[in-house]
């Protein structure tokens, strides 16, 4: 996966053209690994939002998860709870789309 899955023929071509290891890395290996890297970033950014919310639930005194707990607990404020959930969802979608846009710009359309 990633750099280790680069086609051997491309590496041999680079070496036959007397490319330095740095040139091979910059022109062959990294561009070939970008789809795998961005695949990991798409998953990672989504899990980062989930992790932040779980972390807030576990012991924070501020944050969106605390706001959900307040709305659910003492206040039982359903509109506040759903507004917070929508905000969390929008943050997750926005971060995911940023990664997708960066991928399209650097890798190109699939």
Burial class (CB in 10 A: 0-12, 13-18, 19+), 68: buried
Question: Mean pLDDT throughout 85-101?
Answer: 96
Q: Model pTM greater than 0.85? A: no
Rounded-to-integer distance, Cα 31 and Cα 10, Å: 12
Mean predicted confidence (pLDDT) in 67-87:
87
Alpha helices in 17-77 (DSSP H): 21-24, 30-59, 64-72
**pLDDT tens by residue, 6-44:** 889 999 999 999 999 999 999 999 999 999 999 999 999
């Amino acid at each position: 996966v990633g750099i280790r899955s680069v086609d051997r023929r491309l590496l041999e071509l680079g070496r036959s053209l007397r490319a330095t290891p740095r040139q091979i890395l910059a022109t062959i290996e990294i561009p070939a690994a970008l789809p795998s890297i961005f695949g990991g970033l798409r998953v990672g950014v989504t899990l980062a939002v989930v992790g932040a919310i779980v972390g807030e639930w576990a012991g924070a005194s501020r944050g969106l998860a605390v706001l959900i707990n307040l709305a659910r607990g003492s206040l039982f404020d359903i509109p506040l709870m759903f507004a917070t959930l929508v905000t969390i969802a929008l943050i997750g979608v926005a971060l995911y789309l940023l990664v997708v846009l960066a991928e399209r710009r650097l890798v190109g359309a699939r």
